[in-house]
Amino acid sequence: MRKTYAYNSIIFGILLGLLVYVSSKSAALGILTLIGVSVLGFIIIRFIENAISKGVDKAADKISEAYQHHKEQKAIENGTYVNPETTQMPDKTTTQFPQKEESEEIKTKYCGYCGAKINAESKFCPACGKSVGQ
């Protein structure tokens, strides 16, 4: 149960009723003010609290949905997404995965002096430092 501030209207009604009674010297007018302010204040405060509560609940639901959507998108990008309804991976033909560029395979050769594996474009052996020539 949520905390309500509507009961404060009763205190406000009592104080205002006493003020009206003291200023007008009419007990009936003071009591009517007490009851009217208390009841009307209670209804207005509860209405405002309910409206705020509904707005907060809707905002929390939207945030939760956005977070879940973001989490699913990250899982799809990482390839770890499992659909909770089917517990299967999504079909890659229908899911848009980012295309990775095919990297050019680096050609390798071996040093004639020490036999270390080196890049084909290198001019010097990284192991022994001798010139491998082109």
What residue segments make up the domains of the chain, in order of their start? 8-78, 106-134
3-class DSSP state of 97: coil
Model confidence at 83, pLDDT cuts 50, 70, 90, reads low
- Mean pLDDT, range 43-47, rounded to an integer: 94
- Cα 10 from Cα 42, distance rounded (Å): 7
* pLDDT averaged over every residue in the chain: 81
Per-residue pLDDT, 86: 56
Take residue 101 and report the two structure tokens written for it: 């560029």
- Cα 74 from Cα 93, distance rounded (Å): 18
Per-residue pLDDT, 81: 66
Per-residue pLDDT, 110: 79
Per-residue pLDDT, 69: 86
For 81, residues 6+ apart whose C-beta sits below 8 A from its C-beta are: 72, 75, 89, 90
